[in-house]
Amino acid sequence: MFDRASSLDRAAVLRAALSRRHALVVPGCHDAMSARVIEAAGFEAIQISGFGLAGSLLALPDVGLVEMKDVLEITGHIVRAVRIPVMADIDTGGGNALNAAAITERLLEMGAAGVNIEDQVFPKRCGHMEGKQVIPAEEMAGKVRAMAEIRRRSGRDLVINARTDAYSVLGLDEAIRRANLYLEAGADMAFLDGIGTRRDIERAAGEIRGLVSVNLMDAVTGVRTELIPIPELAAMGVARVSIPVASIMVMHKALTDFFSDLRQSPTGILAGETHRLTTFQDYTAFVGLPEYRALEREFLPALAGAER
């Protein structure tokens, strides 16, 4: 239990899965618990959601308000909580190319398998919000080169996913140009956030000279990107499909429904409505309480004696 983060090279596992170009579904998590749930459901990799972190940590929108020290601390918790590959989200990289390089060092040290970095102007905003702006492509390429160089010097692996938000600002042609530029600079995958239609995704997958990622937001409603079945995206050659905001939206819905109903209940309780909750026994088993109890019996003999 002290080695929940397996020694297996998770970046290599992630890289191999992406290289198949079979639209690897990578759900977004907003904390260690949601990451563990995603892992338990059987997904192969996890994407940390900047949108989700802003909501869970601050109850605020994703407009660049979460401090990078908090992003890195939570990322470390999530990486340690699961065994499958975790992709970090560092927004615009914390500043210039030197800041992005320093953050890359931290991610390599903590065992992150991959990272998203985007070409928005700081303070950034969720890719499906209005009012986005992008920095010059060459500036973003410099950040990617710096990150790739730190990775090379470290001797460790990290999948660099270069996100461009140019689609909604400057159009598909510029988004494709930027994606190829970032791949040439050392990125392993290009992410066209907010891309709108099946036709545009097909064109991007055909013209981008490397791995391509798209974003289906919540896998239920669609926002800016047409909701396309995963097998069809795989047939187009898309490497990764992120579903970043579902965890925080599901959590918000569940909490809202439960506490609204509890507050309005004439008895002040919801007796018998067990479908709303995980049982205490199931929850404590999920978070590893039996393992900790076994450690107590082994290393805290006084406590073990008191139980007998």
pLDDT for 129: 66
- Give, to the nearest 10 degrees, the angle between helix 246-264 and helix 32-40: 110
Cα distances from 158 to residues 93, 124, 178, 288, in angstroms, run 15, 23, 21, 29
Looking at the structure, do residues 241 and 288 belong to the same domain, yes or no?
A: no
pLDDT for 128: 66
Instruction: Give the structural domain span for 159.
Output: 10-252
Query: What is the spatial distance between Cα 24 and Cα 43, in angstroms, rounded to a whole number?
Result: 9
Looking at the structure, do residues 163 and 52 belong to the same domain, yes or no?
A: yes
Note whether residue 201 is domain-resident. Answer: yes
Looking at the structure, do residues 203 and 304 belong to the same domain, yes or no?
A: no
pLDDT tens across 25-67, in order? 999 999 999 999 999 999 999 999 999 999 999 999 998 899 9
CA atoms within 13 A on the CB side of 234: 11
Note whether residue 210 is domain-resident. Answer: yes
CATH code for the domain of 230: 3.20.20.60
Cα distances from 75 to residues 81, 106, 110, 201, in angstroms, run 10, 10, 8, 30
Query: What is the spatial distance between Cα 165 and Cα 185, in angstroms, rounded to a whole number?
Result: 17
pLDDT for 77: 98
pLDDT for 122: 85
pLDDT for 278: 96
Looking at the structure, do residues 205 and 286 belong to the same domain, yes or no?
A: no
pLDDT for 1: 46
- Residues 39 and 46: beta-carbon distance below 8 Å: yes
Note whether residue 5 is domain-resident. Answer: no
Note whether residue 265 is domain-resident. Answer: no
Q: Identify the segments of the chain with pLDDT beneath 70.
A: 1-8, 126-129, 131, 222-223, 303-308
Looking at the structure, do residues 239 and 179 belong to the same domain, yes or no?
A: yes
Query: What is the spatial distance between Cα 238 and Cα 214, in angstroms, rounded to a whole number?
Result: 8
**């459901």: which residue's tokens?**
41
Looking at the structure, do residues 157 and 209 belong to the same domain, yes or no?
A: yes
Quote the number of domains for the chain. Answer: 2
